[in-house]
Amino acid sequence: MQTVEGRVGGAMGVRVWRELGQLALEGLAIGVVFSVLLAAAVYMVARNSHGDDFAAAPTSATEISALTSN
């Protein structure tokens, strides 16, 4: 014969697992949304930047070598 505590304990266990599952799904959804927003921001910044002036020196290499040899 099953006691009342056994039934209540089982229902509590199911409720806890359901809440943990819901929490995991919410965390996953937040992570996916944040990742998509971050990827969109990186894409926009990369698209608007000019590749030719990234880490470019303002003077050419021949000018630098001429300045250092004097």
Spacing of C-alpha 47 from chain mean position: 19
| DSSP helix/strand/coil, 49 | coil
The domain locations on the chain are: 4-69
CB 38 within 8 A of CB 31: no
| Spatial contact of 57 and 64, defined as CB atoms under 8 Å apart | yes
Of residues 7 and 43, more confidence is placed in: 43
Q: Would you say residue 24 has pLDDT above 80?
A: yes
Average pLDDT on 60-68 reads: 66
How much is the pLDDT for 22?
97
- 31-35, 45-49, 54-58: least confidently modelled range: 54-58
Which residues contact residue 67 at a Cβ distance below 8 angstroms, ignoring those fewer than 6 apart? 59
pLDDT score recorded for residue 3 = 62
pLDDT for the residue numbered 49: 72
